[in-house]
Amino acid sequence: MRCICLWVLIVAANYGAQTADPNPASLSYVFPSNSATPPSVSVTVSSSGPMTVNAVTQSGGNWLTVTPSTASATATLTVTMDPSGLPDGTYQGDLTISLSASSKTVPVIIAVGDPGPQLPTNGIVNAASYQGGAISPGEIIAVFGTSVGPKIPYSAQIWDGVMTNKLAGARVWIDNTPAPVIYAYPNQLAVVVLYEIAGKAAVQVQVENLVARTPPFSVPVQNATPGFFTADGSGKGQLVALNQDNSLNSASSPAPQGSVVVLYATGMGVLSPAAADGTIVSSTSWPAPALPIQVTIGAQSAQIPYAGAAPGLVVRAIQINVRVPMGIATGNAAVVATVGTVSSPNGCTISVH
């Protein structure tokens, strides 16, 4: 149910000869959206002298009032929040309790209905490796947060061979341009980073749901941020890999030395020829990373017969065909990709014999 929540937090005090101590120090109130009845909350203030109380709002108009406006010694204040007419969102106000030699400010925050998406500073990661930090052109990223997506999961919508940049009201804006959305869950999105960020030092990222858009987050940009897709989706361990006979690589189905294994990755940087953001790879156009790629398996350099777009997938998911080096140790072999000067995180493996 959509609601209004109130938090009254005591965050500052100027202690002098006279003091004022509101009680309780924190209040919360749940209220249905679009209700015509404003909630009122009582706050008891113990003071050592006469006081004046004022209510001021920083956003949303005059939705906050307090009575009485003057009192002596201990008093019970009635704080009223009237959200009628306010659109869904978050609004801020202050109660100021003033004595002759000191004052105390009580911030008041109301969230009307759905307050909108909440994106933590570490909520943007590589969708394959789950490593945070910089993003790169064409990288598939996962965005984690609160209410960033719809209440039920949605998969990508494709029109004329291109993924849409809005899914069930969810969008991710990169420098004010929406990015193609691969999937949208209530608290997780996956999108394709726009090609146009190439050459920038940083970009501003915002997440939008049906209600609101987050403040912009500054995210650094680098040429490549390679990461392999793993079997359990953790970013580490057994990779999603196909053996030369098209069987799924695993401990029970290892790849022979000298055979070709197909790996899947993202964050390989600019592609050549360039492809429109969100394009699904066809049988007639297979763009390849412009930066040089090296792959080691078991710490030995592996031949790469092919590295480029994966047929049937979004163009920024990269397929890498690698030949397992001869003479490496059997069992789980570490796999690392280096694109330009940037390497994928350690901890990824395939099984070989």
- Whether pLDDT at 110 is above 80: no
- Whether pLDDT at 85 is above 90: no
Question: Which helix (H) or strand (E) is 288 found in, with range?
Answer: strand 288-289
Q: What does the block give as tokens for 210?
A: 């049906």
Contacts of residue 68, Cβ cutoff 8 Å, sequence gap at least 6 = 53, 75, 77
* Residue 94 to residue 235: CA distance in whole angstroms: 45
- Whether pLDDT at 228 is above 90: yes
Question: Could you tell me the pLDDT band of residue 204, with boundaries at 50, 70 and 90?
Answer: very high
Does 187 or 7 have the greater pLDDT score?
Answer: 187
pLDDT tens digits for 117-145? 888 888 999 999 999 999 999 999 999 99
Q: What is the pTM of this model?
A: 0.70
- Whether pLDDT at 193 is above 80: yes
Q: Which CATH class is domain 3-112?
A: mainly beta
- Whether pLDDT at 6 is above 70: no
Q: Enumerate the β-bridge partners of residue 81.
A: 64
The CATH number of 124-220 is 2.60.40
Q: What does the block give as tokens for 123?
A: 């909520």
Question: Could you tell me the pLDDT band of residue 61, with boundaries at 50, 70 and 90?
Answer: confident
* Residue ranges of domains in the chain: 3-112, 124-220, 227-352
Q: What does the block give as tokens for 329?
A: 């140790």
pLDDT at position 29, please?
A: 59
Question: Could you tell me the pLDDT band of residue 191, with boundaries at 50, 70 and 90?
Answer: very high
What single DSSP character describes residue 167? B
Tell me the mean pLDDT in the region 326-350: 96
pLDDT at position 127, please?
A: 95
Question: Could you tell me the pLDDT band of residue 25, with boundaries at 50, 70 and 90?
Answer: low
Question: Could you tell me the pLDDT band of residue 2, with boundaries at 50, 70 and 90?
Answer: very low
Question: Could you tell me the pLDDT band of residue 7, with boundaries at 50, 70 and 90?
Answer: very low
pLDDT tens digits for 239-256? 999 999 999 999 999 999
Mean pLDDT across the chain: 86
Please state whether 289 falls in left (phi above 0), alpha (psi between -120 and 50) or beta.
Answer: beta
Pairing outcome for strands 103-112 and 64-67:
unpaired
Q: Enumerate the β-bridge partners of residue 31.
A: 4
Question: Could you tell me the pLDDT band of residue 225, with boundaries at 50, 70 and 90?
Answer: very high
- Whether pLDDT at 31 is above 80: no
Pairing outcome for strands 124-126 and 12-13:
unpaired
pLDDT at position 71, please?
A: 86
Residue 270 half-sphere exposure toward CB, CA atoms < 13 A: 14
Task: Report helix, strand or coil for 195.
Answer: helix
Q: What does the block give as tokens for 51?
A: 């006081």
Q: Long-range pairs for 212-217 at CB < 8 Å and ≥24 separation?
A: 212/88, 212/89, 212/114, 212/115, 212/116, 212/117, 213/116, 213/117, 213/173, 214/116, 214/117, 214/118, 214/119, 214/145, 217/119, 217/121, 217/124
- Whether pLDDT at 86 is above 80: no
Look at 77-91, 223-237, 297-311, 322-336 and tell me which has the smallest mean pLDDT. 77-91
Number of residues that make up the chain: 353
Percent of the chain surpassing pLDDT 90: 53
Pairing outcome for strands 40-47 and 75-81:
antiparallel
- Whether pLDDT at 203 is above 70: yes
Look at 13-27, 74-88, 191-205, 212-226 and tell me which has the smallest mean pLDDT. 13-27
pLDDT at position 40, please?
A: 83
First to last CA, the chain: 56
Does 202 or 312 have the greater pLDDT score?
Answer: 202
